[in-house]
Structure 1
Amino acid sequence: MAHVRVAVRVRPLSSRERREGAKIIVNGDDRNVTIQDIRVPEHPGCDHRARYKHFRLDECFFSDGERASQQEQVYASLGRPLLDDVLAGYNGCLLAYGQSGSGKTYTMLGNPELLQKLSAAGSECTMSLSCVEVYNETVRDLLMRRPQGLRVREHPQTGPYVQGLGMHLVSCAAELRSLLTRGMSRRQVGATQLNGASSRSHALVTREG
């Protein structure tokens, strides 16, 4: 049976946001989040439901004060249980979703020490890695010397797959980190108002073992 957990992570204000006097409008506790819509004026007759949106999730990670969450905490709560399930033979997926500049890449890859733990956890099995980008409806293998468009096919037993996508064997954290660095450096990027070097594509890193 499929099991889905949903978490939110609130990043700190950037230097530009602090200079412009921005403020954090997302608050809450370990499992609840409240988002304040500052476009709705606050006055005695204000509809509280229009100004504040409340959500309940499985996990909430914040960046301020005593609630500040480090990479290790996020990994221990979300990554480690998923990794244990994968090593037990189940399929698993960790997805980061959010607008440009929200911290998706940092959350997924920001602490190199986590790669060492991933490598150690898989020391008794064979691991292979692929890194694929979806940009403007084109699928590219980011670990190819010259990434080019590939086709998505449908296998009658295993389902969708990318034809010609390379799978690279890895035996240690250093190899894993090298492949990830190479793949991420080849992603399509472009400047936005929120991020001067924003990734303009969806990237998928898959591991088989």
Structure 2
Amino acid sequence: MVKETIRVYARVKPLGRRQQAGIYSVDDDEKPLSSLEIIVPRDLADGFINNKRESYRFKFQKIFDQEAKQDVVFDSIAKPVAECVLAGYNGTIFAYGQTGSGKTFTITGGAERYSDRGIIPRTLSYIFDQLQKDSSKVYTTHVSYLEIYNECGYDLLDPRHEASRLEDLP
């Protein structure tokens, strides 16, 4: 049975070569939620008063730090969804964030190493492994892989790669 309808996770992206280090801290003591605090230092402009907020705190079910591996992310996020799907429920994993924040790597993975496989290939492997173990039933599977960008929808499994209105997507 599904325990919760929506769960929200955060993954802190490792720094690139030219990126300045951000200041953040993770507090896992607040069960059942973890807290992510991001510190944005004030610009100390010459003589101007800057009352901009310096600290932002957000709560998530779980926060994956910069060292988190793809298998850990899969086990925590996608595997429970896949198990609910196998029990007959619909499941959705929705990645949200600004451009360059690491959504594609988390969802599809990297091409360099097998261990860098993302949520989609790991989930498909897991589901088909589970289906193969049960020969007493016949299964039908449907997969959607959609991108929403600038209020247009893209079916990423459609080789035409054409933009559609959101309501026209399958």
Partner of 1:174: none
> What residue identity is the alignment partner of 1:14?
G
Rounded Cα–Cα distance in structure 2 between residues aligned with 1:130 and 1:36: 37
Could you tell me how far 1:105 is from its partner in structure 2? 0.7
Could you tell me how far 1:61 is from its partner in structure 2? 0.6
SS in 2 for 1:32: strand
C-alpha contact (below 8 Å) 2:22/2:40 kept by paired residues = no
Spell out the pairing of 1:76-115 with structure 2 (5 A cutoff): 76-110=75-109, 111-112=116-117, 114=122, 115=124
C-alpha contact (below 8 Å) 2:64/2:73 kept by paired residues = yes
Rounded Cα–Cα distance in structure 2 between residues aligned with 1:141 and 1:120: 26
Rounded Cα–Cα distance in structure 2 between residues aligned with 1:126 and 1:92: 15
RMSD (Å), alpha carbons: 2.9
TM-score by length of 2: 0.69
Could you tell me how far 1:25 is from its partner in structure 2? 2.0
Query: For each residue in 1:154-196, what CA deviation from the matched residue of structure 2 results, as whole angstroms up to 9, or x when unmatched?
Result: xxxxxxx63xx4xxxxxxxxxxxxxxxxxxxxxxxxxxxxxxx
1:35 aligns with 2:49: no
Rounded Cα–Cα distance in structure 2 between residues aligned with 1:145 and 1:56: 39
Partner of 1:126: 140
**Deviation above 6 Å: which 4+ runs of structure 1?**
none
Could you tell me how far 1:4 is from its partner in structure 2? 1.0
Rounded Cα–Cα distance in structure 2 between residues aligned with 1:12 and 1:152: 32
SS in 2 for 1:55: strand
- Alignment gaps of 5+ in structure 2: 29-33, 45-49, 110-115
Of all paired residues, the percent bearing the same amino acid is 34
Partner of 1:71: 70
Could you tell me how far 1:130 is from its partner in structure 2? 3.4
Could you tell me how far 1:73 is from its partner in structure 2? 0.8
SS in 2 for 1:127: coil
Larger strand proportion of the pair: 1
C-alpha contact (below 8 Å) 1:40/1:51 kept by paired residues = no
Rounded Cα–Cα distance in structure 2 between residues aligned with 1:70 and 1:8: 13
Partner of 1:14: 16
> What residue identity is the alignment partner of 1:128?
H
Spell out the pairing of 1:1-209 with structure 2 (5 A cutoff): 3-17=5-19, 22-30=20-28, 31-39=34-42, 50-63=53-66, 68-110=67-109, 111-112=116-117, 114=122, 115-123=124-132, 124=134, 125-148=139-162, 150=164, 162=169, 165=170
Partner of 2:31: none
Could you tell me how far 1:28 is from its partner in structure 2? 0.9
TM-score by length of 1: 0.57
* Alpha carbons of structure 1 residues 118 and 15: separation in structure 2 relative to 1, 3 Å: farther
Query: For each residue in 1:29-49, what CA deviation from the matched residue of structure 2 results, as whole angstroms up to 9, or x when unmatched?
Result: 3311111021266xxxx98x9
